[in-house]
A and B are shown apart, each in its own frame.
Chain A
Amino acid sequence: MIRLKDISKSFDGNEVIHDLSLEVPQGKTVVLIGPSGCGKSTLLRLMVGLLWPDRGNISLFRENLTKNNVEILRQQVGFVLQDGGLFPHMTALQNIRLMADFLNHDHDATNNRITELHELTHIPKELLKRYPSELSGGQVQRIALMRALMLDPQILFLDEPLGALDPLNRVSLQDEMKTIFNQLGKTVVLVTHDMGEAASLADLIVIMKDGYLLQYDTLSTLSTDPADPFVTEFINAQRKPWQQLEDQIK
């Protein structure tokens, strides 16, 4: 579904992604995780053509991503940012409808789709009249998700979609997303630096460090068969609080 082959990317002569290859199978949720600054967002942006690699190539739906087809391909994927990236001058509804209206989709079909998304994301209808500045962080992320899903894309990219939320909202939206991803069977690439989130959502996990892909595997393989001491270190560092909690309960 998504293929990255020998990708390198530098900013101002500073290479931040080194010779990285990755394949994301259809219908799976792949989580990119690693310390801050390791290149997760850069990698995600490369996959949507918001950035271009210095070397290597990227294909979506078996099609090579080029400047000519990037706009068409983008219309077939969804993208959600940490702060939602909603357009502040439009209401939630206008944000959601924007692309459907821009592409002159049938009005009734668009309305039906919005009703569907409602049920999926549990957003009360009245909220759609509001502007982003009148919505809470969790609401903004749900609207951003609705906007990303509007055209029923096969692939969904999310860059720390829960990063700006308080823990309570975080957990509930995380559960919701899990349900949605399972229900829709989309191919999902999600960036996070939270191992708990990765554990809960991912079919496959990519552990990154300093622009290198250290290991790409299921969570259980990562813990039983780590490719690098850093993988264990990273998993354990993040699991500590949970383990402590579990120990206490026991």
Chain B
Amino acid sequence: MKNLNLYLILILSFPFTPPAQADPTSEIRIGSKKFTESVILGEAITQHLQVNGFKASHMDQLGGTRLLWKALVQDELDIYPDYTGTILYEILQDEEISSNADIQVALAQHGVSITDPLGFNNTYALGVTPQTAEQFSLKAISDLRQHPELRFGFTNEFMDREDGWPSLRDHYQLPQTAVRGLDHDLAYKGLQAGSIDLIDLYSTDAEIAYYQLSILQDDESYFPDYRAVILYRTDLLDRVPSIQTYLNQLAGVISETEMIDMNSQVKLEGRSEAEVAQSFLSLKFNTLSEIVVSSRWDRIISTTSEHLFLVCLSLGAAILVAIPLGIWGARNATLGQVILSIVGIIQTIPSLALLVFMIPLLGIGGPPALVALFLYSLLPIVRNTLSGLTGISIDVQESARALGLPAPARLKMIELPLAARSILAGIKTSAVINVGTATLGALIGAGGYGQPILTGIRLDDTSLILEGAIPAAILALLVQWSFDLAERTFLSPGLQMKQESTS
């Protein structure tokens, strides 16, 4: 059904973009969220600008609304597509807004402008399988009141946002309690598998047609408009005044049917977003934009180099910081506890939250991903350095002091070599975890193996998921092997024999 070769035509995403400074000649930076429609729109905007002579680049499938908005406001991005409902209820949720004109005023205060709507309305909707619809005679959302036993599976975003589940429940007085948050793409699978009965979806989702889902009518008109618009930094017009014309050309040209069609070309027919956007633009504007086609091997090479860059740099920095922290903590039990708690707490910060938090400081791309990975790598190394040092027998410690070795020499000649096995094991743990965690780099535009995995999950394309997952697993194994080898090579035979005799 799917032609895998067509996936080979994918726009290669930019490796590490340093936090860009305002520079009139620099590229126009377009972002998109990590769902297909947003990627297609981002692609369409990028190609439309490129074909009209602008230098434009697309950072596709970034983390989520918060991340994109922050990046736009912090001048890390110039343009990204979003929806009026999202702007109203999520981005500007703290501000009182009653009309579209008010939206523009409120956005202007953040230095952001919007175009007129692109055409289609991609609002939230609730969908069930035709069987469920028939079994419970569900036609409209209000019908759900009679069936409290139904299990809902909502996207995490829908669970949390102000215009999402909590106020939908209040609006319709819905009784259901079995409500789970899960990934949008997994929700369709859950629905098919029968583990959930109802999901939230977007009214332009390709899957509606594919799975023949029944959409429940919003009979008490709860869901607001979600019209696609283009958000851009107002100061972009100072840099490139002519751009407004071209952005506005995209307003009003995409109908709901056209959007569903483009979504299903990508998700169900396996064409790339770049291709789909290219065909659409050529149909509407009679232009032919150029797209970069890269082979699977090209992609693997570039994701590998991005991934290695992330892992090596963050791990190297973590080693340089964590070992001294561990040494310091081993001097004093209270201090050691404090240090361990702090690096332990860092470990519990959700990665996306950490990434969003760092945008104002480090922008998007490589730097925030490196810092996040660095922070996540500290704990195992600090913990093992500390326990390796405090685990040295009192006899040995006293002997070293009684010989008259000064403290720095004791550390270098006795304590660190004796703790080496434990420290090395800590670094190995960190490295293996780091290889896995670095896939999150894709959420903030740092590339790596997360890129194909993210795209693969989004497009339900196993081969693309494997394209990231297999090299990541191989890399993890290589890391493990090389540390085992290092242990055999560098660790004193005296310590290795000790382990053999005790094991």
Contacts and interface: CB of A to CB of B under 8 A. Distances in A.
A50 B322 CA distance: 29
A102 B404 CA distance: 10
Interface in B400-439: 400-406, 409, 413-414, 417-418, 420
Contact of A79 (B399, B420, B493): B399
Interface stretch (B120-128, B220-228, B367-375, B494-502): B494-502
A240 interface: no
19 contacts: A71-B406, A74-B402, A74-B403, A75-B403, A75-B404, A87-B400, A88-B495, A89-B417, A89-B495, A90-B494, A91-B494, A98-B403, A98-B405, A98-B413, A99-B405, A102-B405, A131-B492, A133-B497, A147-B403
Contacts of A133: 494, 497-498, 501
A79 B405 contact: no
Given A87-B396, A89-B494, A133-B497, A50 B404 contact: no
A86 interface: yes
Given A50-B402, A91-B494, 6 more contacts: A75-B404, A81-B395, A84-B395, A85-B399, A98-B413, A102-B405
A162 B44 CA distance: 84
* Highest count of chain A CB atoms <10 Å: which of B400, B417, B494, B497: B494
B410 to A, nearest CB: 10
Contacts of B406: 71
B398 interface: yes
A15 interface: no
Contacts of B404: 71-75, 99
B402 A48 contact: yes
Majority-rule SS of B interface residues: helix
Interface residues of A, number: 30
Nearest to A103: B404
Interface string B281-307: 000000000000000000000000000
Contacts, number: 75
A131 B496 CA distance: 10
Interface of A: 45, 48, 50, 71-75, 77, 79, 81-91, 98-99, 102, 131-134, 147, 157
Contacts of B414: 87
A182 to B, nearest CB: 24
A133 B493 CA distance: 10
Contacts of A147: 403
A74 to B, nearest CB: 3
Contacts of B418: 87-89
B494 A50 contact: no
A88 B392 CA distance: 10
Contact of B401 (A50, A73, A89, A131): A50
A131 B494 contact: yes
A141 to B, nearest CB: 12
Interface in B47-96: none
A48 B409 CA distance: 19
Contacts of A82: 395
* Highest count of chain A CB atoms <10 Å: which of B399, B404, B405: B404
A79 B402 contact: yes
Given A99-B403, A99-B405, A88 B494 contact: yes
A134 B500 CA distance: 12
B403 A83 contact: no
B249 to A, nearest CB: 72
By Cβ-Cβ distance, the 5 closest A-B pairs, closest first, are A85-B399, A131-B494, A74-B404, A89-B492, A75-B404
A72 B405 CA distance: 9
A157 B400 CA distance: 14
Nearest to A90: B494
A81 B398 contact: yes
Nearest to B494: A131
A121 B454 CA distance: 69
Interface string B202-242: 00000000000000000000000000000000000000000
A45 B396 CA distance: 14
A72 B406 CA distance: 10
A110 to B, nearest CB: 15
Contacts of A81: 395, 398-399
B218 to A, nearest CB: 72
A149 to B, nearest CB: 12
Contacts of A45: 398
Given A87-B418, A90-B492, A79 B403 contact: yes
A81 B402 CA distance: 10
Nearest to A134: B497
A117 B493 CA distance: 25
Given A50-B401, A74-B401, A102 B409 contact: yes
B424 to A, nearest CB: 13
Contacts of B495: 88-89
Contacts of A99: 403-405
A83 B494 contact: no
A132 B404 CA distance: 21
